[in-house]
Structure 1
Amino acid sequence: MIGRILVAILLMSVIVVAQASDSVQVQEQQETHQTLDHDSGAEEAHTSKKPALWSVFPFVLLLVMIATGPLFYPHFWHKSYPVISVILAFLVCTYYLFYLHNHHSPVHSTAEYIQFIALLTGLFVASGGILIIVDKEAKPLTNVIILAIGAVIANIIGTTGASMLLIRPFIRLNKNRIKPYHIVFFIFIVSNVGGSLTPIGDPPLFLGFLKGIPFEWTLIHNLVPWVIACIILLGFFYLFDIRNKTNYAVMRGEEEEEVPPTGKVDLKGRRNFLWLAIVVGAVFLDPNVFEWVPGIEYEGQKFSYLREIIMLMAAYGSYRFSDLQAMQGNEFSFEPIREVAFLFIGIFFTMMPALELVSQFAQSPEGEKLISPSTLYWGTGILSGFLDNAPTYVNFLTASMASVGADVNKIQEVIAFANNEYKDSLLSLMAISLGAVFFGAFTYIGNGPNFMVKSIAEQVGIKMPSFFSYIVKYSIPILLPVLIIIWILFFMGN
């Protein structure tokens, strides 16, 4: 019954958008006639149109369904989420292409989605063929060490690579006492906060590197906040874990069958580290940085395709030639990446109006008046928790530089901004960087690996909190105090 109601709502949204689009078309035609005498012409008038506020509705609807579907109508949701996601994405793209006459945003969203899913697929499949066997007792301190190692590794192979490499052994280690908080803290530390020290760590930082921010900048300036945040989160986790006395094997009467742990750590599927290195190395093949890298040119910018081909070929190679024992030990399945691929089709395209409206306000005179390290930290952060943190980072970096007369598209000015040659520019860049990375853990959709880790956990039978429950039970009482502490220590009063 609930499923039918939601389908009806979805159809109604299509009708509403269609009707609204008709009115937009009429309005555009009227404005076009009024601007025929101007040099800009009709086409420029179309491209300057702002998306209407109601065009954010499909994005909000998708978020609500992601939050409520697994909880209230799981059968309908798991069966229908690919169709719902694609329909909503198609709806917003149609509005952009045929009524706003804006081809720029859909093209960029398509390119960003392909880059996103190629990277996640490569890392997911390559890491799926690496079996890490930790034959130790699942003690709180052991878990803390694994999470701390994951936070460091996230800066070498990215938060997605570290998450995919460690989530399965982390779950296996705690198989007799696993609870949802284990997975949530893994998302907090390994999938997000951990990756703030290098451009490889998280996509927003990599975009900053491509714009001209020096590679070592994040390590130098984000190190202290990274250490503080990781220590606090690991401390919270230790307090949770030390109180967990649950042993499901004993509860099932299997205590006599248990073999004492040997304390050894074993590794199978070592060859997949090569495939993993190929995927990570391909990240740097950007045609806008290296002229010899081929790309598709569009509006003065080159979109990579060689990088994505290499990543997908590495995914195929790692799957084709992987250690079968390692794959079986990991209970490898394509379902987690399938879920992420379909849901983020909807997220990437339906969030276009929201991102554009935010960008326009941030770069307006009214928005620029509000710019300060504090507002940049909270603005970038809150939006990164619910929108894609990579374009949010770029939008706020653009607005912050514009407010001091700098241009984000001029590499020398970006370097000067990073070197604090403009008023408060160092603190502003720190605020944007930390906000984009740290707040990505606030929701399941804040960062790509969040949803994938959740999906892998659910695949092995762990009952994960719903979208809202995750925020209410964990993000607000645990993560938010950490974010406030970072703000007080580094940005409050600025």
Structure 2
Amino acid sequence: MTAMRALGLVMAGGLLLAPGDALAAGVPGAQLSLAWGIPFVGILLSIALMPLVAAHLWHHHYGKIAALWGALFLLPFAATFGAGAAWYELTHVMVLEYIPFITLLLALYTAGGGVLLKGSLVGTPGVNTALLAIGTILASLMGTTGAAMLLIRPVLRANAFRRRKTHTFVFFIFLVANIGGSLSPVGDPPLYLGFLRGVSFFWPTTHLFAEFATCAVILLGIYWVLDTLAWNREKPVAPVVDKQAVGIEGWLNVWMVVATVAVVIGMGYVKLGVVSVLGQMMEVERVLGILLFLVITGISVAFTTRELREANGFAWGAILEVAKLFAAIFICMAPVLAILRAGADGAAAGLVALTSGPDGAPIPWVYFWLTGVLSSFLDNAPTYIVFFELAGGDPLWLMGQGAMTLAAISCGAVFMGANSYIGNAPNFMVKAIVEENGIRMPSFFAYCGWAMIFLVPLFVLVTLIFFRPV
């Protein structure tokens, strides 16, 4: 039984057991203890440890294990608060958060995987640094997922002849899959949710540019030094290739990526009312957006030749892995986010109290680190919303007098999504694609070690420059 079928059975069971209108209210976070976070910790530890201690079991059954953790939250929750409440929590997560999330990723993954960047690319330190820089810039224009899917395969091909290359893909995740998405609502889901709540479209561009540039320039510089050292130690023999101008094949998919970005922007401006979907009130424009993402996916699949996808090394494994694991992650993190939303009334009240000084004023550097640390392991989009609301939730005040606080929340959510593989979905997708190509990536904890060495000191510097404690 696959993970999605198992979760489907849980949903079906909830539908049979739920009240007739299937509209039972969710359980307030103030009523939940931290013990409800155990399944979330369980799925995280499974992702981190099982590939190391039970690799064969994990690689063949990770979907079933993920579904088990989802069930270990939903079934006790139903027994404690009623099947109706469990159904409400499940449909809330799946309808309002997971389905929009996975259909957007699917469209960008499919279309991005149908764009073939051709040309004589040899993975020298200069070429690699340039590719990472281009991806970092593109991330704010086409989303971190779109930019990552467009460039990861060219980077793989350019470095196929090298032995020392793991650092390239780690820094690719740092820059292209995360920090690069900080300049527009298209770049990363947290900023898009802020846009939907009234933050102007170009506010991140004008208010986060200095923080973005600081991180991007420093990380690109560090990467160039590391790659130069690796090149000099390895002394690889660069392959002799026919000089071919860099070009693009698969222009239909380029336009499909553009169409996906246009749909995302359109959902922020067009308001068509709301509709009930499995008892959850959802904006009509979001429903249409989901349908359009599926249409874009279908067009890409139907009109992209098999030869082009094979030349690009495209496979469905990465998106399937993300779909299965993140379905369980979204379900299991629901009570954790509910506890945080409860603020001073919840089990995490002590943590929430740190965000304000004695006078009640928000403390930007605390918002940066709390948003960031939680975004490293929770999905960064709902984490952004939690702290957006804790800071008052008024976009006009946050864009003006509270601009430093909003910048801190935004940077924390976007930047620190790079601290772990599950901080942002493209991280896991890049890891899966690289491993599909026979390259060993760092384990979960080893990757976090890379982040501790290169990202955490950088974020301390960002704190001191932009969110200085007073």
Tell me the TM-score normalised to structure 2 length: 0.86
Maintained 8 Å contact 2:274/2:282:
no
In 2, Cα distance between equivalents of 1:211 and 1:432: 14
1:261, distance to aligned residue in structure 2 (A): 4.9
SS of the residue corresponding to residue 215 of structure 1 reads coil
Between stretches 378-387 and 129-138, larger displacement belongs to 129-138
Give the counterpart letter for 1:162 in structure 2.
Answer: A
Maintained 8 Å contact 1:294/1:306:
no
SS of the residue corresponding to residue 134 of structure 2 reads helix
State the match for 1:370 in structure 2. 355
Maintained 8 Å contact 1:51/1:100:
no
In 2, Cα distance between equivalents of 1:217 and 1:125: 30
State the match for 2:384 in structure 1. 393
Pairwise mapping of residues 308-323 of structure 1 onto structure 2 (< 5 A)?
A: 308-323=290-305
State the match for 1:478 in structure 2. 454
1:104, distance to aligned residue in structure 2 (A): 4.6
Pairwise mapping of residues 112-191 of structure 1 onto structure 2 (< 5 A)?
A: 112-177=97-162, 179-191=165-177
Give the counterpart letter for 1:139 in structure 2.
Answer: T
Structure 1 residues 44 and 228, CA gap change in structure 2 (3 angstroms): closer
SS of the residue corresponding to residue 137 of structure 1 reads coil
From 401, 420, 423, the equivalent of 1:446 is 423
Maintained 8 Å contact 2:139/2:181:
yes
SS of the residue corresponding to residue 243 of structure 1 reads helix
CA deviations over 1:229-265 (Å, ceiling 9, x no partner): 0000001100110012366975xxxx8xx43451621
Are residue 66 (structure 1) and residue 47 (structure 2) matched? Answer: yes
CA deviations over 1:425-457 (Å, ceiling 9, x no partner): 111100000000000000000001000000000
State the match for 2:371 in structure 1. 380
Are residue 343 (structure 1) and residue 325 (structure 2) matched? Answer: yes
SS of the residue corresponding to residue 309 of structure 1 reads helix
1:395, distance to aligned residue in structure 2 (A): 0.3
Maintained 8 Å contact 1:388/1:447:
yes
Tell me the TM-score normalised to structure 1 length: 0.82
1:129, distance to aligned residue in structure 2 (A): 1.0
Pairwise mapping of residues 228-377 of structure 1 onto structure 2 (< 5 A)?
A: 228-245=214-231, 258-262=239-243, 264-286=245-267, 290-292=270-272, 295-296=275-276, 302=283, 304-361=286-343, 367-368=352-353, 370-371=355-356, 372-377=363-368
Structure 1 residues 399 and 173, CA gap change in structure 2 (3 angstroms): same
1:183, distance to aligned residue in structure 2 (A): 0.5
Between stretches 360-369 and 46-55, larger displacement belongs to 360-369
Structure 1 residues 46 and 118, CA gap change in structure 2 (3 angstroms): closer
1:193, distance to aligned residue in structure 2 (A): 0.3
1:293, distance to aligned residue in structure 2 (A): 6.7
State the match for 2:207 in structure 1. 221
SS of the residue corresponding to residue 244 of structure 1 reads helix
Structure 1 residues 232 and 455, CA gap change in structure 2 (3 angstroms): same
Give the counterpart letter for 1:76 in structure 2.
Answer: L
Structure 1 residues 126 and 205, CA gap change in structure 2 (3 angstroms): same
Unmatched 5+ residue regions in structure 2?
A: 1-23, 357-362
Maintained 8 Å contact 1:176/1:248:
no
1:376, distance to aligned residue in structure 2 (A): 0.3
Maintained 8 Å contact 1:126/1:272:
yes
Maintained 8 Å contact 1:285/1:293:
no
In 2, Cα distance between equivalents of 1:174 and 1:85: 33
1:284, distance to aligned residue in structure 2 (A): 3.3
From 422, 428, 447, the equivalent of 2:405 is 428
Q: Matched residue pairs, number?
A: 430
In 2, Cα distance between equivalents of 1:416 and 1:309: 35
Are residue 210 (structure 1) and residue 186 (structure 2) matched? Answer: no
Unmatched 5+ residue regions in structure 1?
A: 1-42, 402-407
In 1, Cα distance between equivalents of 2:30 and 2:80: 9
Between stretches 311-320 and 380-389, larger displacement belongs to 311-320
State the match for 1:196 in structure 2. 182
Give the counterpart letter for 1:361 in structure 2.
Answer: G
Structure 1 residues 78 and 44, CA gap change in structure 2 (3 angstroms): closer
State the match for 1:488 in structure 2. 464
Give the counterpart letter for 1:480 in structure 2.
Answer: V
Give the counterpart letter for 1:91 in structure 2.
Answer: L
Give the counterpart letter for 1:131 in structure 2.
Answer: L
SS of the residue corresponding to residue 117 of structure 2 reads strand
State the match for 1:109 in structure 2. 93
From 418, 429, 433, the equivalent of 1:456 is 433
In 2, Cα distance between equivalents of 1:154 and 1:46: 37
Structure 1 residues 369 and 187, CA gap change in structure 2 (3 angstroms): closer
Maintained 8 Å contact 1:419/1:426:
yes
CA deviations over 1:276-332 (Å, ceiling 9, x no partner): 12222222343x853337743666653632211111121121011113332111121
State the match for 1:414 in structure 2. 395
Pairwise mapping of residues 16-27 of structure 1 onto structure 2 (< 5 A)?
A: none
Give the counterpart letter for 1:388 in structure 2.
Answer: D
SS of the residue corresponding to residue 208 of structure 2 reads helix
CA deviations over 1:198-235 (Å, ceiling 9, x no partner): 00000000000000001110000000110010000001
In 1, Cα distance between equivalents of 2:235 and 2:310: 23
SS of the residue corresponding to residue 118 of structure 2 reads strand
In 2, Cα distance between equivalents of 1:248 and 1:82: 41
1:266, distance to aligned residue in structure 2 (A): 2.3
Q: If you compute each CA radius of gyration, which structure gives the higher value, 1 or 2?
A: 1
Between stretches 191-200 and 296-305, larger displacement belongs to 296-305
In 1, Cα distance between equivalents of 2:335 and 2:316: 31
In 2, Cα distance between equivalents of 1:79 and 1:86: 14
Structure 1 residues 216 and 414, CA gap change in structure 2 (3 angstroms): same
1:414, distance to aligned residue in structure 2 (A): 1.6
C-alpha RMSD of matched pairs (Å): 2.3
Structure 1 residues 69 and 159, CA gap change in structure 2 (3 angstroms): same
Structure 1 residues 131 and 46, CA gap change in structure 2 (3 angstroms): closer
